[in-house]
A and B are shown apart, each in its own frame.
Chain A
Amino acid sequence: MDFELEPTLESIVQQDTLKWIFVGGKGGVGKTTTSSSIAVQLALNHPNDQFLLISTDPAHNLSDAFCQKFGKDARKVDGLSNLSCMEIDPEAAMSDLQQQAQQYNNDPNDPLKSMMNDMTGSIPGIDEALSFMEVLKHIKSQKVDENDDKDKISYRTIIFDTAPTGHTLRFLQLPSTLQKLLSKFQALSGKFGPMMSMLGGGNQQEMFDKLNEVQKNVTEVNEQFTNPDLTTFVCVCISEFLSLYETERMIQELMSYNMDVNSIVVNQLLFADDDEKPCKRCVSRWKMQKKYLDQMAELYEDYHLVKMPLLGTEIRGVENLKKFSKFLLTPYDPKVNGDLVTSLEEK
């Protein structure tokens, strides 16, 4: 029996329980377009629910994709009343946090301060975790209605357009490390706490509390993110060697975090087989793309492999995104849908 999975993202769009969708891949493969498209399709298919699309990329391009200025706070997309977007800079959130930490302890001569900084700075994934916590806090503070519950996220699904650099999800490996470290810290603070407070510390306890809080949050988030009913990851790539290689590495890494990955979107395909006036370059490049597509089909047979065409222009604006994103759900057929390539309105 052949278990070929349908080459669409329908399972993601139709799945009722999903709370988080991450879209990731290397730079320039169409992450933003794909995440916007997924968000648009979700919003179109569930008109009664609210969705949020977040970009954590410092080089923000959601604004460009939707031709509308977005900022730190969620704002509704014109023409799609149940989709909001926001662009946040996790680095900025991080530096806020550091300033906060400085308030606890602003004595430059305190040796414990630098020790604490060094220790927290050297845990792998702690930066990512802290900035992610800030992002989450920020999301929680975003409300669709004035009278929404305070501690609840008021969106049905949140779509993340992750930054191409770094490992946004590296903090998923954090809970176990942090747990060990914190238990050590606590043992230490139990022993030396009185001495520290005698030495004029006294604020250390707050630092420990803070770390404890981080650990609690990280564990909670980790539980959510490794639950395939709640979270999924969509890989975006183009049909070229290096992009495939990076995708493979990303998938392996995500799998090592126990994260659910079952969809790969292959962007920028040329589909040059049935062109009326075939251009030589397109035909040969399409041949190359087909080569890698075949290899991918062999490698990722238990994944949803979504093939998306390369269009004549940039895909910008809600209307264009709606047109394009349709093909995330119904496979693109160059014979029937070929006019899509040139039919986008220029913005």
Chain B
Amino acid sequence: MGILAALDLHPYTLVVSSFTVLLIQQLVGFIGKSTIQEFAWLFYLRVGGKLGLSNSFVAHTKKQEELHKLNREKRSISAQDEYAKWTKLNRQAEKLTAEVKSLSDDIAKDKSKINSLVGVVLLFLTTLPLWVFRLWFRKSVLFYLPTGVFPYYVERVLAIPFFASGSVGLTVWMFAVNNVISSVLFLLTFPFKPSVPIPIRQTKVEEVVPESAESKESSPEVIDIADAN
């Protein structure tokens, strides 16, 4: 119970921390888990190489270079004229190919390890704390509304699920925070979204619409067709 005893948080701490966690969650959802995993992988390659963690990647690059060199050399000599030399190169190339394959298997394993690690970290950063909050503080009041600001029915709604009128609990707080963050994100990203062309309603009459008409954003013909239907 020691851990849970430590969870005796001040309501305002709860307000701030749940906001932070929800912000992280929304950001993760916005960036995309796979993007983060990819980024973590690149970071691992860069840093792990220096720390001696991702040896197989370095070795793989080296081996592949060697293989390319061997193949070039192999192609530069005639197999018929220098059979022994060619075959020796071929043996080396085959051995290298096998090594490269096993190394790339290792790398794939590493990558899936990193991916699952990132998944676990994200789980601990976002999903788990929210569940702990929801379970452990389901009955704690976060703050009280100043009396008289909202009409009583609004206060009743804000007290969902079972709080006394005028108080705000986690359910409503999280709902509000989620909505605000996603709206802000939407507002921030909207100007940078690619513009969507106005949809054209399909008519049954086969009409040859000139191509230039489609690309214009508000061409009169398009409106005509839409109006006609």
B88 contacts which of A241, A292, A294, A299 (Cβ < 8 Å)?
A299
B87 and A299 contacting across the interface, CB-CB below 8 Å: yes
- Confirm or deny: B143 has a beta carbon within 8 angstroms of a beta carbon on chain A: no
A71 shortest CB reach to chain B, Å = 41
> Interface readout for A262-278 with B: 1 if CB under 8 Å, 0 if not?
00000000000000000
> Interface readout for A200-215 with B: 1 if CB under 8 Å, 0 if not?
0000000000000000
CB nearest to B82 among chain A residues: A295
- Count residues on chain B whose CB falls below 8 Å from chain A CBs: 10
B94 and A244 contacting across the interface, CB-CB below 8 Å: no
- Confirm or deny: B136 has a beta carbon within 8 angstroms of a beta carbon on chain A: no
- Confirm or deny: A185 has a beta carbon within 8 angstroms of a beta carbon on chain B: no
B84 and A298 contacting across the interface, CB-CB below 8 Å: yes
Bound Cα distance A3, B37 (Å): 57
- Confirm or deny: A102 has a beta carbon within 8 angstroms of a beta carbon on chain B: no
For chain A residues 245-267, which have a beta carbon within 8 Å of chain B? 245, 248, 252
CB nearest to B98 among chain A residues: A256
Q: Name the A residues within 8 Å of B83 (CB-CB).
A: 241, 244, 292, 295-296, 299
For chain B residues 71-121, which have a beta carbon within 8 Å of chain A? 79-80, 82-84, 87-88, 90-91, 94
A49 shortest CB reach to chain B, Å = 38
A299 and B79 contacting across the interface, CB-CB below 8 Å: no
B84 and A299 contacting across the interface, CB-CB below 8 Å: yes
Bound Cα distance A299, B87 (Å): 8
B79 and A295 contacting across the interface, CB-CB below 8 Å: no
B94 and A245 contacting across the interface, CB-CB below 8 Å: no
B95 shortest CB reach to chain A, Å = 10
A252 and B79 contacting across the interface, CB-CB below 8 Å: no
Inter-chain pairs besides A252-B94, A294-B84, 9 sampled, C-beta below 8 Å: A241-B79, A245-B87, A248-B87, A295-B82, A295-B83, A296-B83, A296-B84, A299-B84, A299-B87
Complex A-B: 12 CB contacts under 8 Å: A241-B79, A241-B83, A244-B83, A245-B79, A248-B90, A292-B83, A294-B84, A296-B83, A296-B84, A298-B84, A299-B83, A299-B87
| Top-9 shortest CB links A-B | A295-B83, A295-B84, A298-B84, A299-B84, A241-B80, A248-B87, A299-B87, A244-B83, A292-B83
